[in-house]
Structures are given as C-alpha cells and as structure tokens.
Structure 1
Amino acid sequence: MRPTNDAASPGAWVTDAVPCFAVVGKVNMGKSAVLATLLEEDDDRIIRISPEPGETTRCQRLSLVLDGDERLRFIDTPGFQQPIEALRAIRILHGDGHGTPGLDTLRAFVAQSRKAKMFEDECRLLEPLLEGAGILYVVDPGVPVYDSFLAEIEILRFTGRARLALLNQRGTGKPAHEPAWREHLGKAFNLVRAFDAHRARFAARRDLLAALNQIDERDRDHLDATMALLDAEWQQRREQAAEHIQSFLRAALRLREHAHYAEDGPAPASARREAVQQASRRYFERISAMERETADALLGIYRHTAVQAQAMAGFGEDLDLASDETWRRLGLTRQQLTWVGAAVGAGAGIGLDAATLGHSLGIGALIGGLSGGALAFFKGDVIPTLKLDMARLGPLGGRRVTLGPPRNANFAWVLLDSVLIRYRQILSRAHARRGDGALAGEVATESIARRLPGDRQKALARWFRGVARDRDDEERSSAGWAALVETLEAIERDL
C-alpha cells in the first residue's frame, strides 16, 4: 500500500476513475495523522504531522496505489477556521423559505467569498466536495461538541455527499464526550466510526477502508476489488518477512568466527585466551549486526522508512546472549526442548526404519526419540558456551581458533524469539508516530516461541537441525518457512 503525493490544481481533485474522499475537520483534530496511518506514510515531507495547529494550509492529494494502480484518492484539506460565520453567510445567501441549502448555494458562497477574499480555508476544503468527493470528517471525541462543530456538521450536510464521521480517539479509555458526538453525527452522517490514528493496527486500517464501501454503494465493486488487492499485498509482505527471518536464522546457525595465535610465543596460554576472546566478541557482534539488519528489512517491508532498529537487548557488546537471564526469558522451556528434541529424533529414526524396509522393528524411532530428547534435556538450561575448534596452520605454525555456534539446543529458539519480538513491535507501530526515529529492542516478558503449536515447533526444529548439520534441503526449508508465515499471521491476530 503506497500513497502518492500530488498538490493538484483546482479542478483536478476528483476523478471518475477512482473513489475520492476529502478529509475535513477543524484544525488539530488529527486529519493528517489519520491519513498517515491509513496510508502507512511516516515521511513528514509527504504528510506533515505537528503539534502546532494549522500545518495543512492547502488541499493535498494522497493516492492509495496497489499493484501499480491508483485505487483510492484522499484529499487532505485545511481545517475549518470560521465555521459559524461561514454557516451564517451560506444561510443568508440561500435566503429564507427556500428549504435546505445545497450545492448551488455552496458554489455561490465559494465564488462570492473568493471575490471578497473571505473564508479562504472554508473555500479550499469545499472545492473537492463541490467536484464530487465524499467526506471523511475527523473529530476528537475528547473535546466537547461546541457550536463551531455543529456549524461544520451542518455545512457538510448541505453538500449531500456520502459522509463518514471518524472519532479519532487519542489514548486509552472511552472519551468523555463520545456519546454526545455520536448523537449529533448520527443525524448528519451515513456512518460513524471510532479510530485511533496513533495506535491503529492493520486490521483497524483495513476496517476503515472497508467502511467506505458502506457510504456509497456506487463504488462497492471497486472497493471490494481494492480490499482483495490490499489483502494480497499484506500476505505478500508476510511472506517476504518470513523469508528475511529465515535467512537471518540460517546465517546465524551457520556462523563461525576465527582467530589465530602463535604457539611458540612467550605466553601461548595467554595468547590462546586472547584469541578466543577476540573471536567470541566478533561472533556476538556479528549476531547483533545481523539481527539489526533483519529488523531494518522488516521495517522496510512495513513502510517504516523513517525508523531504524537499535540493538536488541541481549545481543549487544556486553554479550548478554550468554547470560542466564536471557535464556530464562526467551526460547523454549526445558520440557518443550525435550519434547521437540524427542519428536525430531523420532522422525529421523522413522527415516532409518523406512530405509531398512521395516526390518529394524521400530528400534530406530525408539533410539532417535530417546537420544534427541535426552540431548535437549541436558543442554536446555546450559548457558550457551560457543563450540570451540582448534586447528594447526600448516608450515608457518600457529593455530586457528574457530568459534560457533553455541552448543545450547535453545540457541535457534532464542534467536527466533528475538526477531518475532521485533516483528510484533513493528506491527504495533502506527505510521502517525513522529519524533522517535529508532526502534529500540526489548526483552520479552513472555516468549512467543513457547506459545507456538506443537506441529509448528516440530517443523521449525527439523529445519534448525537440518541447517546445523548442513542438510538444509528444500522440503525442510519450505516447511520451516510455512511455519514462520503461520506464526507471523498469528502475531498479527493477537495484537
């Protein structure tokens, strides 16, 4: 879902090709914030969001583009400045005893006001409405329904256009004035919806776009097709995210770090310790860098272009990945590791039984299950000591130290938890947020991996085992990727 920004000239706001909606309301009600979150745009150069009122001083066209085609057009308008005075002028222009003012009266009001250089903001916001745009009226239900708001509602009612009112909730709890707002808006608008531009997730954004279906049936087929494209794009993003996560896990599980030292020096034992420390430090620094790169890739997929990932807690230079606390919080429990290890080991044993045409009488499955489960049980709570290999360096002498990966069977699950936490953070971040350009890592209070269904844990465990043993075949890789896609979808539903 990618918006395009175009400061179109008057007379070019509305097109018959796509549904068009003008976003209107008093200044500082959150119109730009709603559009930023709705269109997933965090670039202030396209949609400026500021605590200062009146940032939008002219109409601005923002188009929702899916699969290369414009599907919806929104026009961000300047807020009402003098609604009470404008309503009075409209009624005087229309005259008494002539029913309710309509489009002809509003056109005459705009023409007269421009000539007199009055009501400039009201004239600008009425331009796209006179051309045929629908209305998305944004209000803050935490503010009382003043007479000026009632004047705005009345002017918008005069247009006769399809109208959706949006209660832009800010913060938790039900705003004190929401019932009054709903009472007044319900009399003048086709539909009233609540929305929090600073907390809305994809489901809320999708629901708001789908609600536009309900206010003008003439656009139903087009908007239904738009929703289908939106869902397809979101699924594609989810699959791309799973690919990045899988690539990170594969690279981390295969990572090895090397260092060298001389055996014939004055203090070979000291040189060996220093080489091990250097290789260990570089190993964890690379893990941290890969984790951040993956998080940045996920931010890009979900269009958080103004945000960069910071180091995940537990993956920094202090090597907290080797702390007992990290392993208590993240990854699987010892019992889960035992069960998954047994299941994966039994699966390998079943392969042995098949290869011997059943003549092993099931002993392969029994041995595989016992050994896999026992290995996970005894290593599940061990702080991750890096695997250490030593090798001579040929005729020049000296030795090469090779470190990695950690021996702990939970290593892959801790890494998986770290990136799933990142994913949840990214999905939870609304595009209207400004001022904090970094996605700081967090330590989970509760592991995501521990809550995965057993079949997903087994599919991932088989893939982890295959990668660790250089047997990353297509079948196990595809099953692991599918398990990741299902997990990402479940995280979205739980938000």
Structure 2
Amino acid sequence: MNDSPVFIVMGQSNEGKSSIVSTLVGHDQIEVDHNAGTTRKHRIFPIKIDGKRIMDFIDTPGFEHPKKILKWLKKNENNYSSSKELITAFYDIHNNKKNLELDCQLIFPIKNYAEACILYVFDGSRPVDQQDIWAMEIVSMSGCGRIALINCRKDNYDHVEKWKNECNKYFNSVKDFNAHYANFKDRIRLLTTMGTLVDNLADTLELVTENLKKQRNRLYEEIVELIEEKLQKSIHFSVKGNTLGDKKLLKQKLVISYKKGIEKIENEFRKEVRKVYRHQIFDVEIPQKSIINEELFSEETWSVLGLTKSQLTLAAAAGGTGIGLGISALLAPITGGASLAVGGLLGAAAAVTAHFKSEEMFDIYDGKQQQVTITNKKIQFYYILVDRMILYYSYMVNRAHGKRVDTTVKVDNGEKQGFTSQWTEQEQDNFKTWLEIVMQGNRSEISLQEIFVPILKKIDGKEQ
C-alpha cells in the first residue's frame, strides 16, 4: 500500500467524477464518457514529481443502491467500534453479491485507505434528489475527511444554492469546481484548499503545489525549445527540382511541396505540445472561427497575424545583417495580402497591391539546367508562424483535461490578433536579429527563452 496522500473521488453516476480526476491529475489518460456508468471499478491515478509518487487520486463508480447501503450501515453501526470497521464489514459481507458489485467497488477504497479524503462530486445544474441525500449520509459515516465539489455540467446554476445548503450538512467544505473549464490555476487553488481542510495534509499538499509550479516552469522552457527547434527547421527547409520541361509548372509543384513541408513541421509542433501537456488521447478542439483553422499561407492568416505595416517598416529601417534581406524580404506579403514595392521606406509604407503571388510569398531561385529551389526568408512569415504556435499553445495550456476549452481568437476589422504585434520594439528587433543570424547558418546568442517565457506565463494566467 502506498503511503502518499489518497483522495477518493465519489458521486452519483455521470456527474463528472472522471473529469475531476483527469483535471487534478493533469492527464487525459482517464476515460471520460457522457454515458452513465462508464467507470465500472475503482482506478488509481497518481501524481508524480520527478518520478516520485506523491499523491493518489482514486476514480470510483457511481452509487447504484445508496438506499440499501445506508439502511445496512444504520442498522449495524452500533455493532462496530469504528467507521472503518463498519465500512469493512459491509464490503466483506456484500462483495460477492452481484447486484452490489459496483457499490462495493466504490466502498473498497474507503475500507482500504482509512486516512483518505473524499472528494464528492455533484452536478449542480440539476436538482437535489433523495438519492443524493442518501449518498451524502453514507459519505458522512465513512470517517474520512470530506469536500463537496459542485461541478455544473450545464450552464444552469438555478440549483446551486440548494446544493450548497444540503452539502453543508455533511461535508467539511463545499467548493465550486467545474472540470470542463478548470485550468492549472484552478487545480492549484483546489489542491491548496484540500491541504487546509484535511488534518496532517497541509504541509504535504503545500509541497505538492510548489513542485507542480516548478514543473510548470520547466514546461514553459520545453515549449520555447520546441518553438526554437521548429523555427530553425522551417528556416532551413527548402525544396528543389529540375526538369527539361515547363519551368513554370515545376515551380507550381515545388510551391505545393514547400507548403506541405512547412505544414508538416507545424503539425509536429502541435503534436509535441500535446505530449508536453499530457493531452495524448484527444486533439485540442479549436473553435471554428479561430484564425489557426485557416491555412498558414492564406491571405486571411497573413492579414490577421504577424507585424503591422508600420512595425514592418521599422524592421526594414533597422536593416539586415548582410545576407541580402531587402525591404521586400522583410515585408512582402503583408496585411491584407498587399505586396510592398521595393525602392525605399516610402514605397514600402504606401504599398497598395492586393494579390498573393507565390513568387512574392517565397524565395524562388532559378539555377542552371532548369534547377529550381524554393525557400522562405520573408521575416514576416516567421512572425506569423510564431503567432500560430503561441495561439495553439494558448488553446492547449487552457484546455481542461476533462474537456476542451473554447478560447476563440476573433478576427475584427482586419486588426492584428496575434502576439508578435504586441511585443515591444526591442522584442521584435531581437527576434528579427535572431532570425537573420540563423538564416546565415550561424548560432545566435539571443535567448528566445527571455522573449517567449513571459508570454507563455501570461497566457497561462501566471504572473511573471
């Protein structure tokens, strides 16, 4: 038997118990189903820090026959000297009775972990019924510490006060905790509350929350490393081909191939972010109107993400590092699909052409013997790619493990909706300098951690 603190998650069938466990553990490995009675036996899910098991959450089936259990407990409570002996007796007597199989699976953790705390989950969007009252009485007879979690599975809060009034009769504390929308901050807040309400667990849970925060900081660094890796891979990615036939047709084919290659890199980033945040079963559910549902190379994407025209003009004024990055390389194509004229900052700022040609989107080099090479050294492209990576991170980091969160990035009035346009001039210039150095094939001394970690923390709702 493990000596780490144990929290038994109990409740009626289909009230959100598994979603609560999944959110608190921080992993979507737990089966979450909208059909009643999905959990058929108790299951243990540990929290580990640096490989050490520090806390267990036990997911249990819902009550099947609370009236029958309560009747037996009340009839026999005077025959046993403690709550544990009473619960153990019920389990031993009824474990082999088929019609009480699930109830015994629910009772077993109480029998086995005398010092456990019970987290009892209620769906506060429905009325309290007699089944609930019987279940609360059973839990109150367990001898365990008890916290009620009101988890409204629908946007209906008419019954919440009634729930709180009833729960206050049987539980040490009553908390609102919506597993569908809970993020890391909510998780830490609940764990802290658990530590203050359960005897002898405050110090342990304080240690748990501090380690979880340190672990979270390491995750920020991992995400930045992923961003840097995928940026470098994209910068050095190219496609080439040669033919004795139609060079124009070859270019068209290579453009398609280049786009697919970059999209593959972007998808690799998304897959690895899901792995970092332990969302390994489900992909993140991105709202339909989110800009990252648009193709990376679409006009709408380029109009909404990346730097503004004035910011790009300043970037052009700052100059490059001698690798042939003229104004057009920095700026074209830009907001609204405009292609900037070359010939000075005045021409750049006044560009009005409204089309999106592949020869402007990419760098296309004609070599000898019908050879064609396509790369992308447009600085704006990498600001846009970064915006999409950070936006995807924002969905993932704010996605509850019990359910996906709808955090829509709106597209209004053609204004920039990404993150890079909100950077300070210094941050934008540092990133541009980093890009230029990497494009030269050199290693930059500029730290992307310093640029990106504060952004990731802010998105995660964490103070810098």
Same fold by TM-score greater than 0.5: yes
> Partner residue of 1:423?
393
Structure-2 separation of matches of 1:461 and 1:150: 63
- Distance of 1:427 and 1:372 partners within structure 2: 42
Q: Call closer, same or farther: CA 1:224–1:314 in 2, change over 3 Å.
A: closer
> TM-score, normalization: structure 2?
0.81
1:411 maps to which residue? 381
Tell me if structure 2 keeps the 8 A contact 1:37–1:431.
yes
Q: 1:156 aligned to 125, 139, 146, which one?
A: 139
Q: In structure 2, what residue type is equivalent to 1:30? A: G
> In the alignment, which of 183, 188, 201 is matched to residue 219 of structure 1?
201
Q: Which AA in structure 1 matches 2:176?
A: A
Residue 433 and residue 322 in structure 1: after superposition, are their counterparts in 2 closer, same or farther (change >3 A)? closer
Asked whether the 8 Å contact 1:338–1:372 carries over to 2, the reply is no
Superposed displacement of residue 138, structure 1: 0.8
1:251-306 CA distance string (max 9 Å, x none): 222333212133xx7xxxxx221222122221111111111111111111111212
Could you tell me which of 347, 360, 366 is aligned with 1:390? 366
The verdict on how the C-alpha distance between 1:67 and 1:320 changes in structure 2, with shifts beyond 3 A counting, is: closer
- Aligned pair in 2 of structure 1 residues 26, 101: CA closer, same or farther (>3 Å)? farther
How many Å separate the matches in 1 of 2:258 and 2:285? Answer: 18
- Displacement of 1:347 in angstroms is 11
> Are positions 1:184 and 2:170 aligned together?
no
- The separation in 2 between residues aligned to 1:129 and 1:52, in whole angstroms, is 25
1:88-134 deviation per Cα after TM superposition (whole angstroms, max 9, x unaligned): 22222236xx9x98444444444444587774443332332233121
Q: Residue in 2 aligned with 1:488? A: 456
Look up the equivalent residue of 2:458 and give its one-letter code. A
Question: Residue in 2 aligned with 1:464?
Answer: 435
AA paired with 1:294? F
Amino acid at match of 1:210: T
Instruction: Please list, as runs of the form range in 1=range in 2, the aligned pairs for 1:73-472 lying within 5 A after superposition.
Output: 73-94=56-77, 102-114=83-95, 119-130=100-111, 131-132=113-114, 133-172=116-155, 175-262=157-244, 271-307=246-282, 321-342=296-317, 344-345=318-319, 377=349, 383=356, 384-392=360-368, 398-405=369-376, 407=378, 409-433=379-403, 445=411, 446-472=417-443
Q: 1:380 to 1:126 in 2, by over 3 A?
A: farther
Shifted more, 107-116 versus 296-305: the winner is 107-116
Deviation at 1:310, TM superposition (A): 11
SS in 1 for 2:363: strand
Q: Which residue of 2 aligns with 1:364?
A: none
Distance in structure 1 (CA, Å) of the matches to 2:284 and 2:76:
57
Any gaps of 5 or more consecutive residues in structure 2?
Answer: 323-342, 412-416
Closer/same/farther in 2, CA of residues 118 and 416 from structure 1, 3 Å limit: closer
Summarize deviations over 1:386-435 as a string: whole Å, max 9, x none. Answer: 2222222xxxxx1321222154x41111111111121122223332349x
Query: Per-residue deviation at 1:87?
Result: 1.8
CA shift, 1:246, in A, is: 1.2
SS at structure 2 position matched to 1:218: coil
Within a 5 Å distance, the mapping from 1:38-57 to structure 2 comes to: 38-43=24-29, 47-57=30-40
Q: Structure 2 vs 1, CA of residues 62 and 334 (structure 1 numbering), >3 Å: closer, same or farther?
A: same
Deviation at 1:185, TM superposition (A): 1.3
Equivalent position SS for 1:401: strand
Letter in 2 for 1:336: Q
Q: Would the aligned equivalents of 2:377 and 2:439 in 1 still touch at CA under 8 Å?
A: no
Separation of aligned partners in 1, 2:296 and 2:68: 65
Deviation, 1:376, is 6.8
Question: Structure 1 residues 303 and 373, CA, compared in 2 at 3 Å: closer, same or farther?
Answer: farther
Q: How big is the shift at 1:161?
A: 1.5
- The Cα of 1:181 is off from its aligned counterpart by 0.9
Code of the residue aligned with 1:285 in structure 2: it is K
Q: CA deviation digits over 1:4-33, x for unaligned, max 9?
A: xxxxxxxx4xx4x21011111111111112
| C-alpha separation in 2, matches of 1:223 and 1:116 | 38
Distance in 2, matches of 1:241 and 1:157, equals: 44
Residues 126, 159 of structure 2: 8 Å contact kept: yes
Cα 1:30–1:338 shift into 2, 3 Å: same
- Contact 2:125-2:154 within 8 A present in 1 as well: no
* Deviation digits for residues 186-207 of structure 1 (CA, Å, limit 9, x no counterpart): 2322222222222222222222
* DSSP 3-state at the match of 1:187: coil
Change over 3 Å in CA distance of 1:410–1:346 after alignment to 2: closer
- Deviation of 1:345 after TM superposition, in Å, equals 4.2
Q: CA deviation at 1:338?
A: 2.6
Structure 2 counterpart of 1:199, one-letter code: Y
| CA shift for structure 1 position 148 | 1.5
Query: How far does residue 241 in structure 1 lie from its aligned partner after superposition?
Result: 1.1
Q: C-alpha separation between the residues in 2 aligned to 1:410 and 1:241?
A: 21
In structure 1, what is the Cα distance between the partners aligned to 2:345 and 2:386?
20
**Distance between the aligned counterparts of 2:352 and 2:149, measured in 1?**
51
Contact 1:90 1:101 in 2 (8 A): no
Query: How many Å separate the matches in 2 of 1:215 and 1:74?
Result: 17
Q: Given the superposition, is the C-alpha separation of residues 453 and 185 from structure 1 closer, same or farther in structure 2, using an over 3 Å criterion? A: farther
Q: Distance in 2 between matches of 1:114 and 1:261?
A: 76
Secondary structure of 2:376's partner? Answer: strand
2:42 aligns with 59
> Partners in 2 of 1:157 and 1:148 — Cα distance?
14
Q: Distance in 1 between matches of 2:285 and 2:167?
A: 44
Q: Bigger CA drift: 425-434 or 151-160?
A: 425-434
Tell me the percent identity: 26
CA RMSD of aligned residues (A): 3.6
- Scaled by the length of structure 1, what TM-score is found? 0.77
- Cα 1:308–1:81 shift into 2, 3 Å: closer
SS of 2:433's partner is helix
Instruction: Give the deviation of 1:219 after TM superposition.
Output: 1.7
Q: Work out whether residues 345 and 373 of structure 1, in 8 Å CA contact, stay in contact via their aligned partners in 2.
A: no
Choose 307-316 or 213-222, whichever is displaced more: 307-316
What is the letter of the counterpart of residue 152 of structure 1?
A
Structure 1 residues 65 and 142, CA gap change in structure 2 (3 angstroms): same
Distance 1:250 1:376 in 2: 27
Partner of 1:223, secondary structure, is helix
